[in-house]
């Protein structure tokens, strides 16, 4: 197939490479020339704009940083909809808010192009190894049509419902993940300060009703598990600033839907606080260090009021 | 064995019955005469006080509503320590704060009685069927000594560490559970208002990083699972007011330990809010109804400031 691939960063780059390996012809575009050059060296063709890339394609895939980029890449004068042929399917794998995803899909449909939102989980490792999970919001016929292509970049291709629901599924899962991680962090810290061995506490929780992925697979307390970011100084993993972005999308979507998310909003603020303290690049489970007790500054508490 | 059993309510009653069935002699005490009568009809002997029950026993078990009851039943003039023989082990299965548990255990040890805190999970159903989980805070020798007796009332007997850690384990697990449940409730409501089918969303979460007991075993959204309180009008299960009690213990223990529990404290307030709205007797997963969107009162929003 002739694939237009727009957005060749940490995620889009390896995804596009997997499509090249699978034998497709790629027309690529990115605002960063170096990203384009890397793909061209592997056999892709450079396009001068999203519009130009889309013009000669059987399918368009985008992987962009945020909602404004998606709007402009699809709806701008040099954008996808200005160039793409009628009927060509469009797939946006960016993680953005569901309302924007739905708006852009509506504009695409009005132009005669079926569109899917297909955000991913699995990180850069999953993008490279082709083991991503795609959460797809699309009409059923479009889902079946694009599924084989997505399967060349990912392992689990999940149909979530109509356009927008792929984004909804992703931000819902990640909001719950963000809440659970802070819940586990508070719990492990509290247990430790109450004198219970953190490994014993994790063992009890993991066989009881507090059980969750953040505790049994990705425990944030150092020394409880091997092979997790907590065992490696919180390097690697899923950055605090990416969790912050997803919680921003979730709370923003909740605001627009007038849906209370009290814990989601507080979790968002706690990751914001942690990021503001300089930890944006650390794995998000490092938020346990925001919540732990540190050595007090010496001195007697005073009250001069 | 001669067992003193003090506190014969919804939990203590069936636990004591299981010890009678196992062949022990029971001296029982409760402030509610009817609870005593029920056990006496089954073969137990009534004692006039906690002190009197303890005086002729090889082991003392208590199952009481809260910390003040535990202090008074152990430390009062008519209490256990005033009557019990030196060396007799004491087991408190009440759910109370870890600091009180440790204080009472220290007082008991000074009197020559080893003491374990052994709160349970599994509810009244587990108490009746003898399938409770005991979370035990005790010195290792005491734990081994009391384990066979606890196994006649429960299935999982877990050693958490020194005195106080049984309580710590229980309130830590339940704090995380209380947080997770609200997290799942917010997430399910948000997904539904963003147009994703709740069953599909639960399926995605349960195979992803948002996975937790509150989602995959006890989902609060009606129609997602069978056999859970959400499928039965939130009857049965674990009452909101009991979760509120446990979160009160957790946040109180955190305050005393100067340990930040931001989500735990907000979760506590949300269950408090829900209980104040009259839902204390409903299963705690009904908190999803506090967080969902209800029909708006008719009328145009006005601003007269």
Asked if A62 and A91 touch (Cβ cutoff 8 Å), the reply is yes
pLDDT digits (tens, 9 = 90+) for A17-39: 999 999 999 999 999 999 999 99
Reported ipTM exceeds the 0.90 cut: yes
Among B189, B194, B207, pick the best mutation site for testing chain A contact (most A Cβ within 10 A): B194
**How far, in Å, CA of B267 to CA of B68, rounded?**
24
Indicate where chain A has its CATH 3.40.50.720 domain(s).
2-163
Q: Is A80 helix (H, G, I), strand (E, B) or coil?
A: helix
Q: How far apart are the first and last CA of chain B?
A: 74
Comparing C-alpha atoms, which of A96, A138, A24 is closest to residue A146? A138
Contacts of A186 in chain B (CB under 8 A): 175-176, 179, 254, 259-264
Tell me the β-bridge partners of A120: A134
Distance CA A258, CA A238 (A): 29
Closest partner CB to B210 (pick from A156, A176, A182):
A176
Instruction: List beta partners, residue A243.
Output: none
Contact A50, A26 (CB under 8 A): no
Contacts of A110 by beta carbon, 8 Å cutoff, 6+ apart:
none
Q: How far apart are CA B142 and CA B6, in angstroms?
A: 20
Q: Active-site residues of A: which are they? A: 170
Give CATH for domain B168-291.
Answer: 1.10.1040.10
Residue of A nearest to B158 (CA): A204
- Tens digits of residue pLDDT in A76-131: 999 999 999 999 999 999 999 999 999 999 999 999 999 999 999 988 889 999 99
State the average pLDDT over residues B134-153. Answer: 97
B196 interaction partners in chain A (CB closer than 8 Å): 160-161, 165, 168-169, 172
CB of B135 closer than 8 Å to CB of A194? no
Contact B286, B229 (CB under 8 A): yes
Split at pLDDT 50, 70, 90, the class of A217 is very high
Helix axes A165-193, B262-274, angle to 10 degrees: 110
Alpha carbons within 13 angstroms on the beta-carbon side of residue B188 total 33
- pLDDT at residue B74 is higher than 90: yes
Report the pLDDT averaged over residues B59-76.
97
Count CB neighbours of B260 within 10 A.
18
Is A273 in contact with A244 (CB distance < 8 Å)?
no
pLDDT digits (tens, 9 = 90+) for B229-239: 999 999 988 99
**Positions of B marked catalytic:** 170
Residue B47 corresponds to which tokens in the numbers above?
Answer: 């004692």
Q: pLDDT tens digits for B251-301?
A: 999 999 999 999 999 999 999 999 999 999 999 999 999 999 888 888 887
CATH numeric code, A2-163: 3.40.50.720
Alpha-carbon gap: A190 to the closest alpha carbon of chain B (Å): 6
Contact flag A193-B259 (C-beta cutoff 8 Å): yes
Summarize the confidence of residues B204-221 as an average pLDDT: 96
Residue of A nearest to B269 (CA): A262
- Which single residue is written with the structure tokens 């997602």? B224
Q: Which of A170, A201, A208 to mutate to test the interface with B (most CBs of B within 10 A)?
A: A208
DSSP SS3 for A125: helix
Element (H, E) at A247: helix A240-256
**Closest residue on chain A to B133 (Cα):** A208
Distances (CA, A) of B145 to A45, B59, B114, B138: 76, 10, 11, 10
Output the pLDDT for position A204.
94
Residues of A in contact with B214 (CB under 8 A): 209
Nearest-CA distance B24 → chain A (Å): 30
Average confidence score pLDDT of chain A: 96
DSSP state letters, chain B: -EEEEE--STTHHHHHHHHHHTT-EEEEE-SSHHHHHHHHHTT-EE-SSHHHHHHT-SEEEE--SSHHHHHHHHHSTTSHHHHPPTT--EEE-S---HHHHHHHHHHHHHTT--EEE--EESHHHHHHHT-EEEEEES-HHHHHHHHHHHTTTEEEEEEEESTTHHHHHHHHHHHHHHHHHHHHHHHHHHHHHTT--HHHHHHHHHTSTT-BHHHHTS--STTS-SSSGGGGTT-SSSBHHHHHHHHHHHHHHHHHTT---HHHHHHHHHHHHHIIIIITTSBGGGHHHHHS--PPPSS------
Among A98, A164, A187, the residue with its CB nearest the CB of B172 is: A187
| CA dist., res. A265 & res. A252, Å (int) | 9
Of A121, A164, A267, the CB nearest to B208: A121
Report the chain B residue with the minimal C-alpha distance to residue A291.
Answer: B260
pLDDT at position B168 over 90: yes
Q: Please report the pLDDT score of residue B296 as a whole number.
A: 83
CB atoms within 10 A of CB A87: 10
Q: Which residue among A195, A217, A253 places its CB closest to the CB of B190?
A: A253
Under the banding of pLDDT at 50, 70 and 90, the label for residue A52 is very high
Q: How confident is the model at residue A295 (pLDDT cuts 50, 70, 90)?
A: confident
Count the residues in chain A. 305
Give the model's pLDDT for residue A298: 85
Interface residue of B102, B118, B182, B190 to substitute, partner A, most A CBs within 10 Å: B190
- B115-124 per-position pLDDT tens digit: 999 999 988 8
Alpha carbon distance B113, B86 (integer Å): 6
CA distance B71 to B74: 5
pTM: 0.93
Whether A42 contacts A17, CB under 8 Å: yes
Question: Least CA distance to A184: which residue of chain B?
Answer: B176
Tokens of B109: 């040890």
- Phi/psi for A35 (5° steps) reads -65, -40
Give residue B127's pLDDT. Answer: 95
CA atoms within 13 A on the CB side of A88: 21
What is the per-residue burial (b if ≥16 Cβ within 10 Å, else e) of B68-107? ebbbebbbeeebbbbbbeeebbbbbbbbbbbbbbbbbbee
pLDDT tens-digit series, residues A243-290: 999 999 999 999 999 999 999 999 999 999 999 999 999 999 999 999
What is the predicted pLDDT for the residue at B244?
98
Using CB atoms, which residue from B133, B194, B253 is nearest to A164?
Answer: B194
């Amino acid at each position: 197939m002739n694939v237009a691939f727009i957005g060749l960063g940490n995620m889009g780059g390896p995804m596009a490479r997997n499509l090249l390996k699978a034998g497709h012809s790629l027309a690529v575009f990115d605002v960063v020339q170096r990203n384009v050059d890397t793909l061209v060296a592997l056999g892709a063709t450079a396009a001068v704009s999203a519009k130009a890339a889309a013009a000669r394609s059987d399918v368009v895939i985008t992987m962009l940083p945020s909602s404004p980029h998606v709007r402009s890449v699809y709806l701008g004068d040099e954008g996808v909809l200005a160039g793409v042929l009628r009927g060509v399917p469009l797939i946006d794998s960016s993680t953005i808010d569901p309302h924007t995803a739905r708006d852009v899909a509506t504009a695409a449909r009005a132009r005669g192009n079926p569109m899917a939102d297909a955000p991913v989980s699995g990180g850069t490792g999953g993008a490279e190894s082709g083991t991503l999970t795609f959460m797809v919001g699309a009409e059923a016929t479009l889902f079946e049509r694009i599924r084989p292509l997505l399967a060349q970049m990912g392992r689990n291709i999940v149909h979530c419902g109509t356009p927008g629901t792929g984004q909804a599924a992703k931000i819902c899962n990640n909001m719950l993940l963000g809440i659970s991680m802070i819940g586990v962090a508070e719990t492990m810290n509290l247990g430790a300060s109450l004198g219970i061995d953190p490994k014993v506490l994790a063992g009890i929780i993991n066989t009881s009703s507090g059980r969750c992925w953040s505790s049994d697979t990705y425990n944030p307390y150092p020394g409880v598990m091997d092979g997790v970011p907590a065992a490696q100084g919180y390097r690697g993993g899923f950055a605090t600033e990416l969790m912050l972005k997803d919680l921003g999308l979730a709370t923003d979507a909740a605001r627009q839907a007038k849906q209370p998310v009290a814990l989601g909003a507080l979790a968002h603020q706690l990751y914001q606080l942690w990021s503001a303290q300089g930890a944006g690049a650390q794995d998000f489970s490092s938020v346990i260090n925001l919540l732990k007790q540190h050595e007090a500054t010496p001195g007697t508490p005073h009250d001069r009021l």
